[in-house]
Amino acid sequence: MRIAWGPSGPGDGPIGRRVAITGLGVLAHAGIGVDAFWEGLAAEPRPSTERRVENFDPTQFFGPKEVRRADRFAQFAVAAAEEALADAGHPEVDPARAAVWIGTGVGGLQSLEDQVHVLAERGPRRVSPFLVTMMMANAAPALVSIRQGWRGPCETTVTACAAGTQAIGNAARLIATGRCTIALAGGAEAAITPTAKAGFTNMTAVSSSGISRPFDRHRDGFVMGEGAGLLVLEDLEHAEARGARIYAELAGAASNADANHITAPSEGGSGAVVCMETAIADAGLQASDIAHINAHGTSTPLNDAAEAEAIAKVFGRPGPPVTSIKGVNGHGLGAAGGIEAVASVLSIARRQIPPTGGLEDLEFDLDVVRSTPRPFEPGPVLSNSFGFGGHNGCLVFVPYRRGN
């Protein structure tokens, strides 16, 4: 990663320390845990107005009192963190040089809604004294840092659907600059609540058919999802010295704003174009080096059209193979970027690109992976997240090569 940018862009700055991915943790509709998740991405999605994380048992991670004092989104984050750290081999690290950076779009909305009902029905004295700590957006990284005893930076990015992606990019800078040795980073969300569903439905963002069909001519909106996806980011030299299994490297990251509209992307995907180009330059690569794009691909009319046009402008037509796992998982909002980062890394590690569920009639001149997984010769992978408010985030993952 370029840790300082020169006058003409990220390629002019000094190269930072290399950032390895040594652990993965994920909970999504496709599955709980890396193996179940990866297998689920290839399954045929069934029509549903929501894509919840099924069979999640928080009592595996929390005691009876604790489980009532943590919102579902924070429970997801704790569970994903436990899996990711176990996957990384529970590395020993100076707690002051260990960071937690978890994004969310909404935070503890279910807890807030529940306590609003308590207030209306039973009065103010019956509102939970734990409401504030359950609903606050920073509850997820706070709980993770407390459990792990990590005393480095502990932060939250709240940038709608770009939150998980931007959190990973922000955490990676801490390692690239030498501030931290290790970080847990990604996104967590559990916002499938009655009020949120009504709000998204009334703004016509949600699919009326209950089918998520990214880049399909007949797409009619997204299907709400939930979950968490976290990466263990580690200074490459530290990871190599302890003999860690290294999935891939995070070579580049970028974020910017459309400065256009509170929900609509900028015309022609101009913000997305700049964000993708900046992330690629940050990785020291050219657009022609990108071997696969894990698209934002929400299944909404405006977003898919803007992203497709942006991809064409950066890569030409049809460009690299593209997939959107939202066809299976639904849209995890602030968790989406973290979950999709896990999928991007697994595409490198398992040499396969998952299909775009729900897609039947492709509208755009893109090389979209459909129906079944596609074999993949590992190369640089670009993961996109573009959120309401014009928040854009992109990550570039590359295969690990010792000594480069």
| pLDDT digit string, tens, across residues 59-88 | 999 999 999 999 999 999 999 999 999 999
For residue 301, the model assigns a pLDDT of 95
Closest of 226, 228, 244 to residue 236, by C-alpha: 244
CA 59 to CA 75: how far, in whole Å?
Answer: 10
The residues near 247 (Cβ < 8 Å, ≥ 6 apart) are: 20, 21, 22, 24, 345, 346, 348, 349, 400
pLDDT of residue 3: 79
161 is catalytic: yes
261 is catalytic: no
Query: Which tens digit of pLDDT belongs to each residue from 173-192?
Result: 999 999 999 999 999 999 99
The residues that bridge with 92 in the sheet, in sequence order, are none
- Looking at every residue in the chain, the average pLDDT score rounds to 95
Which residue, 349, 377, 169, is CA-closest to 248? 349
CB 272 within 8 A of CB 306: yes
| Residue 331 among the catalytic residues | yes
Q: How confident is the model at residue 45 (pLDDT cuts 50, 70, 90)?
A: confident
Dihedral of the alpha carbons of 368, 374, 378, 382, in degrees to the nearest 10: 20
Cα dihedral across residues 358, 220, 104, 131: positive or negative: negative
Tokens of 147: 């459990």
Alpha-carbon dihedral of residues 172, 56, 296, 267, nearest 10 degrees? -110
Select from 165, 197, 213, 184 the least CA-distant residue to 339. Answer: 165
pLDDT level of residue 244 (50, 70, 90 thresholds) = very high
Terminal Cα distance for the chain, rounded: 13
What are the CB-based long-range contacts (under 8 Å, 24+) for 235-240? Answer: 235/17, 235/18, 235/19, 235/20, 235/175, 235/180, 235/181, 235/182, 236/17, 236/18, 236/19, 236/20, 237/17, 237/18, 238/91, 238/93, 238/181, 238/182, 239/20, 239/22, 239/91, 240/20, 240/402
Asked if 328 and 29 touch (Cβ cutoff 8 Å), the reply is: yes
Distance CA 103, CA 101 (A): 7
| Average pLDDT of the residues in 331-344 | 98
Q: Are 182 and 93 in contact (CB under 8 A)?
A: yes
CA–CA separation, 219 and 359 (whole Å):
9
Q: Which of 154, 161, 275, 394 is catalytic?
A: 161
And the tokens for 358?
């729900």
- Count of alpha carbons within 13 Å of 94, Cβ hemisphere only? 9
Distance CA 299, CA 325 (A): 11
Mean pLDDT computed over 138-163: 98
User: All domains of the chain, ordered by start, with CATH?
Assistant: 10-398 (3.40.47.10)
Which residues are CB-neighbours of 180 under 8 A, at least 6 positions away? 97, 98, 99, 152, 153, 171, 174, 235
Is the pLDDT at 4 greater than 90? The verdict is: no
**DSSP letter string over 205-239?**
-B-SSS---TTBTT---B-EE-EEEEEEEEEHHHH
pLDDT in the model for residue 8 = 63
**pLDDT, position 402:** 86
Task: Using the structure block, give the residue that is written with the tokens 């998520």.
Answer: 212
Catalytic one of 238, 292, 331, 391:
331
pTM exceeds 0.85 for this model: yes
User: What sections of 137-269 are H helices per DSSP?
Assistant: 139-148, 163-176, 194-202, 236-241
Inform me whether the pLDDT recorded for 6 exceeds 70: no
What is the DSSP track for 51-86? Answer: E--TT--GGGTS-HHHHTTS-HHHHHHHHHHHHHHH
- For residue 11, pLDDT beyond 70: no
Q: Is the pLDDT of residue 364 over 90?
A: yes
Confidence of residue 294 (pLDDT cuts 50, 70, 90): very high
Choosing from 29, 238, 296, 391, which is the catalytic residue? 296
What CA–CA distance (Å, rounded) separates 282 from 207? 36
Q: Report the percent of the chain where pLDDT is more than 90.
A: 93
Residue with tokens 């930076």, as numbered in its chain: 153
**If pLDDT is split at 50, 70 and 90, which confidence band does 293 have?**
very high
Question: 5-19, 251-265, 357-371: which range is least confident on average?
Answer: 5-19
Q: Is the dihedral of CA 389, 153, 344, 56 positive or negative?
A: negative
* pLDDT at residue 49, as a whole number: 83
Residue 382 one-letter amino acid: L
